[in-house]
Structure 1
Amino acid sequence: MRRTSLAAVTTAIMLTLVTTSAGAVERPDSPGHAASRTGDDAPPSTFIGTSSVESHESVTTKSDGDLWPSCWAANDTLYSANGDGKGFSTDGEFSDIAVSEIRGTVPSLSGTTIARGDQIGSVWSGEGYNRKPTGMVCDGNTIYLAVQDLALDFNDVPAASIVKSVDGGRTWTWDRSKPMFSDHEFTTVWFADFGRGKAAAPDGYVYAYGLDDNWRDSFDDTVPDPQDLFLARVPKAKIQNRGAWQFYRGLDAKRNPLWSKRIGDKQPIMHDGRRLYEQTYSGSQPARGFSVVSQGGVTYDAPLKRYLYASWTEFTYEFYESPTPWGPWKHFQSKDFGGYPWAPTKYGGYGTTMPSKFMSADGRSLYVQSNVCPCAPAGTSVYHYSLRKLELTPSDPTPLGNVPAASTDLALPATGAVAVSKSSRSGTLSALNDGDPATAVDDLDDEVKSQSWWGYTWPSPRSVNRVQLTTGPVTEQGGWFTARPRVQLKNDQGQWVDAAGQTISPTYPGDASAGAGKTYDLSFVPATTSGVRVLGFPGGSRTFTSVAALKVGYATQVADAGFESLGGPSAWSFEGTTGHGVDRGLGFAHTGANNGWIRTSGTGWSEYNQSVPVQPGHRYTFGVWTKSSAGMAGGRLEVRTGGLGTPVVGSAPAPASGGYVQHQVTVTAPPGATSLTVAVGFTGSGADQFLQLDDVTATEG
């Protein structure tokens, strides 16, 4: 339960507020703190097509400390504040908080510590707490810094204030009589970064983001874990005037934001209740797993017209985007570094921010600052101002329009493919598409996990219908899927959904006999998508999988050609009113375990059919194996430009046969044709007749 002081309630009751509008505030109905809230987790982004962040720092500095919220002043200086360290003057004194000015640009940065400790702010909560910087904003050359009281065990934040400097961070002023925020409400504060001197700000307000209770997951549950992100705004000339702050409280009927001066009215702009690493082999996680909403930074990416929020957990980065300060916020990447220990080539960090000073002119490249404390059992320490590159490509809804070509690998880096996975022990996914079968990657990451996946995303949709998976090393600890892996595709809402009509060849055993260096072909119904992945339940005593290569293709082929698909939407359509289905494991198949069948004692045409991708002007041979009842007549293999009634490009009779017989027809795809429909069926005569079909093929040449 949230702690509420009598003073806070009294103050709330005395507030006198004005009329309602999108830019105004409302009179509260009742006093008190906001109730706990739940809601839908942030949905997947459809704006960001691909994103990737480096697995370790690429810009290092001679400095000491962590957190480093920053702002870019109009005078072109970057100011930043660190916790527990010496700042950029590493020969100076240690302090719980320090401010530095940083000069230069990436990769050559240097700086000087210009203030520290009691020069910057007060500790409001007594013994057991010290000061930590959480956010900084430069309005022109005036600097504002949010400072919180953080428990020495890092598990609760009861109070926070904002301090001000008008002389380049040398001296600071603040109300020394009381904190601006208390009772664990809105006590982790950071500001939207609108670039140099806040030049890209949309109006005269400063926008501040806040968390209740703690700056990240409260490992011992002293207070509730933050799962909601809140927003406030304040006129830039009144940032230190607590009474001038207005808190987001929802949207009106026209989707405009509503604001209230009463903090108890605030509503989340984003909720994300996910829990990560709920169970690990080493036990290095809270009892319920890590919550994902943490102290980070929000940067306005003006070229992309997007607000970007960088959050984190103990083992991951979490990235979100939004078109406005208040949302809707959507999740576009989870960068999983795996559990401890980390290595110098792969580590995550906390206190994620993205300084606008280092953003590229097109907004597609930024740098992320984060830290790894030497106090953590991480196996490595990154306790200085540290940057690594984040690269973004916005989605382009225009399909690539790629044609079927068996030799084309759509996963090659030149295609714009960005590899994705649950995690990577090595920190890189290059083995998936480097063309070297001797390299491999696995996702051993200490988590007792139920899903493992490997795949790619692209900035724009492309047509796909096959994935080729080559396995990596297998040990007793893992390296394989415990059942047949399945293909998932990204839909228009950014969600991963199972592909239709999936088959795998050869049969995947679902145990260690899947082997190392073995290639499995996964085929499915053609789809246009901006992402594809192979997903399944990882095996072994440490539940992980290993992959040496993952190719993606779009070819002229029949999906589920042998009716072996298990579950999910069928690759086959059926026309007619007769009985039809699949014989599964009954011994009637030509090859494999299954075959399709049609049976009727009526009249009229019945068929199985499927659309197959082709290129206009190319020659293709379609084939099928059938057997039937002795009296069946009118059986036929047919190739058309579309559904029933469309022009027939070619056909071949499929007469009655007591054993399987192959029938083939060779056709040339008409001008403009990007697909042809292959159909197999017969015309009923009124007597009881059946047709069994299997191994439908389509080959070019």
Structure 2
Amino acid sequence: MIRHLSLFFVFVLITVGVSAASDKNTPTDADNGFTWKSEVPDDCPFERSQTLTAIFFTGRHSDYHCGDTWYPSWASDGNLYSPWTDGKTDGVSCKSGYDGKKAHTGHGMMIGDDPLRLIIKNTSPPKAASAEPYKGRYPAGSLVHNGIWYYGTYCLGPAGSTKHNGFTWNWPVLGPMPGFQISRDMGKTWEPSPLSPETPLFPEPKVHLGPVKMGAPHFVDFGKNMKHSPDGKAYMLGMGAMVDDPEPRPCVKPATGGGFEVQDCDTDFAHANLSWITADQVYMARVKPSPETINDIKAYEFFGGHDVNGKPVWTGDFEKIKPLIEWNNNMGCVTATWVPGLKKYLMCITDGWPTVAKMDSYILEADTLTGPWRMVVYLKDFGDQAYFLNFPSKFVSEDGRTLWLCYSANFSRGWNGVKLDFNPPGGRYGLCLHEVKLLGPSDSTSTANKSLKATW
């Protein structure tokens, strides 16, 4: 009940346009940089990191006019290759949320070594693939390895604009992953996936609009041509939820006098307990990537928890998959990057309930993919509505402390009367790149700012 009441007040504040940005960001006296105030919820299950404790935004950011949904993969030719959709890139439009039959996804190439001076081109026109019986089919895991581009998609439903009790949701149901299309010429031509939404790569959901575990999977970024993979395998992280969740996310409805209040969901409403941007757990799979294996579930192994000695268990049986990490009603889209200079993995997670308001993101760190994972920083209302966060490995400094955060923001400005501002400045509904520096317990924002070097 306490959580529900707090959410009510959050919605009231959002709707009347009250901004708390000045409370969250601590400006430095050196330039436009600032440290984002970390506000970790009391029920957070992750221990605090002892080595990385804050994130400093330098004020440097990109100004590209492209679509959203960028997950760059660093290829052996030195370029980054990424999916994109819902917007215009290189003069071409693309949208993944059509009526189910005409969902399109784009293929982009990012040329250059300076994040602020990239040349961004399409490798080929956007491709259509049916999402039926769902209505949307969006980009997911994307990997370029040994000159071959593997491009995954995932399905969403029941509609991009779903109304319930006076509130408009965005894609409140996360659907299956219908495999990978394959390009052997760096995105110029494509072989369609042999799978489909009705015959997906992973055997889920059990019923239409039911929950999945390996939802919207993304490849762990191991650097140029997967250089730092521990065993030559590609690893994917998916977001998911369990059947019969004992504490599912509540719904919302308009409140008397303005704002919104939470309420229990109707049993016939498949809602944002597991949506395009909300989840309860993170799951993991791995595969030796090749055109023969990437769409063959028999080639995959799944993380099955830890044994009595604390060692990770891997299984070929999807039914034995276990959560890598979980935080009920606080998880969502997930990505991870290996940072050689730190000898750590960084994981980005966004909890975007209720799919169209302000969103919270957080960054975790771990020495191994199987954990334990520790909290670095919790970014409340980041964006204000930032999603699809990731750290492209190409733009990580040698010491691992300076990185570029890739994301998109504020797609639903004005939905349900919610006011959204771009915070940090320089965000946009499309491709965003912001330079950041990770701080430790002994670092200050002023010394962090002075230590930054123009390395790009």
- TM-score w.r.t. the length of structure 2 is 0.67
Work out the CA distance in 2 between the residues paired with 1:218 and 1:192.
Answer: 31
Work out the CA distance in 1 between the residues paired with 2:240 and 2:384.
Answer: 27
Q: After superposition, where does 1:91-490 map in structure 2 within 5 Å?
A: 91-96=91-96, 97-104=105-112, 105-118=114-127, 122-126=129-133, 129-151=135-157, 152-153=159-160, 154-160=171-177, 161-173=179-191, 174-176=193-195, 178-181=199-202, 182-183=204-205, 184-212=212-240, 222=271, 224-225=273-274, 226-237=279-290, 238-273=293-328, 291-314=329-352, 315-337=359-381, 347-377=384-414, 378-379=420-421, 382-394=428-440, 413=445
Work out the CA distance in 2 between the residues paired with 1:203 and 1:370.
Answer: 29
- The one-letter code matched in structure 1 to 2:438 is L
Is the Cα contact below 8 Å between 1:72 and 1:195 reproduced in 2? yes
How many angstroms does 1:379 deviate by?
4.4
Q: Which runs of 5+ in 2 are unaligned?
A: 1-42, 97-104, 161-170, 206-211, 243-248, 252-268, 353-358, 415-419, 450-456
Is the Cα contact below 8 Å between 1:144 and 1:164 reproduced in 2? yes
Q: Deviations over 1:300-336 (max 9, x none)?
A: 0111111111112343221111111111111110122
How many angstroms does 1:56 deviate by?
7.2
User: In the superposition, relative to structure 1, how do residues 115 and 187 fare at CA in structure 2: closer, same or farther (>3 Å)?
Assistant: farther
Q: In the alignment, which residue of structure 1 is the partner of 2:18?
A: none
3-state SS of 1:300 partner: strand
Q: Which runs of 5+ in 1 are unaligned?
A: 1-39, 274-290, 339-345, 397-410, 418-701
- The one-letter code matched in structure 1 to 2:145 is D
How many angstroms does 1:110 deviate by?
1.9
Is the Cα contact below 8 Å between 1:99 and 1:114 reproduced in 2? yes
Q: Deviations over 1:532-578 (max 9, x none)?
A: xxxxxxxxxxxxxxxxxxxxxxxxxxxxxxxxxxxxxxxxxxxxxxx
How many angstroms does 1:384 deviate by?
2.1
For the pair 1:45 / 2:94, whether they are aligned, the reply is no
- The one-letter code matched in structure 2 to 1:175 is P
How many angstroms does 1:53 deviate by?
4.3
Work out the CA distance in 1 between the residues paired with 2:302 and 2:411.
Answer: 37
Higher strand fraction: Structure 1 or Structure 2?
A: 1
- The one-letter code matched in structure 1 to 2:428 is V
How many angstroms does 1:148 deviate by?
0.4
How many equivalent residue pairs? 334
How many angstroms does 1:187 deviate by?
2.5
Q: In the alignment, which residue of structure 2 is the partner of 1:622?
A: none
Is the Cα contact below 8 Å between 2:58 and 2:437 reproduced in 1? no
- The one-letter code matched in structure 2 to 1:235 is K
User: In the superposition, relative to structure 1, how do residues 255 and 61 fare at CA in structure 2: closer, same or farther (>3 Å)?
Assistant: same
- The one-letter code matched in structure 2 to 1:79 is Y
Q: In the alignment, which residue of structure 1 is the partner of 2:38?
A: none
Q: Report percent identity of matched pairs.
A: 22
User: In the superposition, relative to structure 1, how do residues 140 and 53 fare at CA in structure 2: closer, same or farther (>3 Å)?
Assistant: farther
Q: Deviations over 1:395-447 (max 9, x none)?
A: 67xxxxxxxxxxxxxx9755779xxxxxxxxxxxxxxxxxxxxxxxxxxxxxx
3-state SS of 1:243 partner: helix
- The one-letter code matched in structure 2 to 1:326 is T
Between Structure 1 and Structure 2, whose CA radius of gyration is higher?
A: 1
How many angstroms does 1:372 deviate by?
1.6
- The one-letter code matched in structure 2 to 1:109 is L
User: In the superposition, relative to structure 1, how do residues 391 and 115 fare at CA in structure 2: closer, same or farther (>3 Å)?
Assistant: same
How many angstroms does 1:195 deviate by?
0.4
Work out the CA distance in 2 between the residues paired with 1:95 and 1:132.
Answer: 9
Q: After superposition, where does 1:470-619 map in structure 2 within 5 Å?
A: none
Is the Cα contact below 8 Å between 1:41 and 1:271 reproduced in 2? no
Work out the CA distance in 2 between the residues paired with 1:197 and 1:395.
Answer: 33
Is the Cα contact below 8 Å between 1:44 and 1:332 reproduced in 2? no
3-state SS of 2:333 partner: coil
How many angstroms does 1:230 deviate by?
0.6
Work out the CA distance in 2 between the residues paired with 1:414 and 1:55.
Answer: 11
Is the Cα contact below 8 Å between 2:362 and 2:377 reproduced in 1? yes
3-state SS of 1:350 partner: strand
User: In the superposition, relative to structure 1, how do residues 331 and 253 fare at CA in structure 2: closer, same or farther (>3 Å)?
Assistant: same
How many angstroms does 1:81 deviate by?
0.9
Q: Deviations over 1:605-649 (max 9, x none)?
A: xxxxxxxxxxxxxxxxxxxxxxxxxxxxxxxxxxxxxxxxxxxxx
- The one-letter code matched in structure 2 to 1:199 is K
Work out the CA distance in 1 between the residues paired with 2:344 and 2:360.
Answer: 22
Is the Cα contact below 8 Å between 1:155 and 1:218 reproduced in 2? no
